[in-house]
Amino acid sequence: MAKKHILNLEYTHPYKAIGIFSAQKDYRLCWLLNNRLGIDLKRMPDFCLSFDAKSEPANYPIYKYEQPNLFLSILLLANRSEQQILFPAPKNLDYIFLLKSPENLFKLSETLSEIRNIPQVLAAVTLKDLPEKRASEFFFDLELYLSQM
C-alpha cells in the first residue's frame, strides 16, 4: 500500500498591520492619512474574499500606495463589507493599514504615532495576534489579488 504524504505550507506575510478605529468613510480616512503621512493612497478595484464555500464573496474597499524603487507598499483596507467582517477581533475594528517596507524606511512605532495624532481617528493599535488560520488565508489571497493588479 502506498504511503500518503501531506504537504502543509505555512504562508508568512511580509506586512506589518495597524488596526484603525474611525467613523470616517474610507475615502475621507484615506485623504487624512495621505496628508498626515505624506503618501498618495489611490483607490483600487475592490478586494473580493470569502472565508468559506457557503457564503458569497464580500467586497472590501482597498487603497494602495507604492514606491517600487524603495520596496515600499502601503495598503488601507476596510475591515467591513456589506456581507461580512474580515477580522472580528479586535471588536469594532474599522480599517486595516498594512505596511511592507524595509525597517529603516517606515518605522511602525512612528507611523502608529502619526496615525493616532489624526483627530478623526479614535484609536490605532498594532495587530500582531490576528487569528492564525484566517490571517494566513487573508494574506495569501491579498498577495494573489495584488499580483493580478
At residue 89, does pLDDT exceed 90?
Answer: no
pTM: 0.82
Three cell numbers, residue 135:
490571517
Residue-wise pLDDT for 18-71, tens only, equals 889 998 898 999 999 999 988 899 999 988 887 676 777 888 899 999 888 878
String of b and e for 51-72 (b: at least 16 CB within 10 Å)?
A: eeeeeeebebbbbbbbeeeeeb
pLDDT at 69: 81
pLDDT at 9: 65
